[in-house]
Amino acid sequence: MGHRRPQLTIPLGRFQLNVHSQLQSPLFARVPAEIRLIIYSYAIIDYELTRMDPPRYLSTCPCYSLQRHTDTGLLRTCKRILQETWFMPFEVAEHRVCNTHTSPVPAGFGYSTILQQCVNAQNGLSIPRIQKLRYLLRKPDGFEMLQKLLKSTNIFGPKCVVIEVSFFATLSTNSTRYDPNVRLCTEWANELVFPVSVTTIKAEMYGSKNDMDGIVTSVLRKWRFRRVDGAIFKISNVERVAREWETLATRDYDICPPTAFAWFIKTVTWEPVVRFGSLRKGLGNANLTHPQQSG
C-alpha cells in the first residue's frame, strides 16, 4: 500500500503566543508567528518525499530511508524577497527634517536613526536610497545644516529633495513665538552641492499672494543648483495652490477669535540637465528678504 501523506505540524504553543511586532520592518508586523514558522520550516527544513511509489513497488516492503529534499529554489526566492522588502517601508517613506526656532513646528518624520540601527544589525546589508527628503526651514542660517545633511551617510542618497520655506508670522499679531520676518540670502543656492542620487529638487514656499509672486520671480531668475558630478538643475515646472484655514486661540498665542486666513503655496521644480561649461558662469544671487523688511 502507498505511503500516507504526512500531516502538517501544529506550531508549538510558544510560537502561537509569539506576536512580536518586528518594529524594524512594519511590512512584516502583521504576519503571525505561526505563519512565519510554517513558511520558514517549509523553505529551510528538509522533508520526506511525499510522492507515492510507482505501482510495481506497491507489493514490496516500504523503504525506511526515504529520499530527503530541501527546496533550495524556494529558499533563495524567500531570501531575495526578504532582502528587497525589508527596508521598503523606510525607502518609500518621506523623511522630514525641521530646522526651526523653538516655536511649535510640525512633527518630524524621519527613520534614519532606526534604519541605521537596523542596517548595523544586518551584517552590512544596506539600502541604496530613499525616495524623498523634506527639509523644513525656519532659520536664516538653516542651509548650512542642509548641506551637512546631504553629505551625511544616514540619509542613504535621496532621489527627491523638497525644501519647504514658510514666510508666515504667527496668526496672532503680538505673539513672538515665530520670527515674523524670514530672511533668505540665496548665496546658499549656488553653494549647495547635491549627491548624484538626486533627480528632483523642489522648493515649496508659503506666503501671501503678493509676497509670493515677487519671491518666486527672484527664484526663477537667480536660483541654480548642481550635483557633485557636474550636472546642473533646470526649472521644469511651477505650480501654485491656494488654501484657507481657520485658526483658534490657544495658550501659546494671544487670545483672538477664530480667523479665516488665505495662504498660497508656490512650488518650483528643478531637474538635472547635461553638464556644460563653468558652473559658476552666470549664476546670480537673489535677495529673498521678506517684503516687510524692505526699506
What pTM was estimated for this model as a whole?
0.57
Burial code of 224-242, b = ≥16 C-beta within 10 A, e = fewer? Answer: bbbbeeebbbebeeeeeee
Residue at a domain's end among 49, 84, 119: 84
Same domain, residue pair 164 and 253: yes
Same domain, residue pair 110 and 51: no
- In whole angstroms, give the CA distance from residue 143 to residue 63: 75
Residue at a domain's end among 51, 68, 84: 84
Same domain, residue pair 182 and 129: yes
Same domain, residue pair 91 and 235: yes
Determine, yes or no, domain membership for 4.
Answer: no
Determine, yes or no, domain membership for 18.
Answer: yes
Q: Residue 38's domain spans which residues?
A: 13-84
What is the pLDDT, as a whole number, of residue 213? Answer: 76
Q: pLDDT below 70 — which residues of the chain?
A: 1-30, 36, 39-75, 83-84, 86-87, 89, 99-129, 138-142, 153-156, 167-188, 242-262, 274-295
What is the pLDDT, as a whole number, of residue 265? Answer: 81
CA distances from 185 to 36, 191, 284, 290, 291 (A): 55, 12, 12, 10, 13
What is the pLDDT, as a whole number, of residue 203? Answer: 87
Domain count, the chain: 2
- The residue with cell 525644501 is 163
Same domain, residue pair 266 and 200: yes
Same domain, residue pair 67 and 100: no
Same domain, residue pair 160 and 48: no
Same domain, residue pair 79 and 93: no
**Contact of 119 with 126, CB cutoff 8 Å:** yes
Determine, yes or no, domain membership for 74.
Answer: yes
Task: Please name the amino acid found at residue 184.
Answer: L
What is the pLDDT, as a whole number, of residue 201? Answer: 92
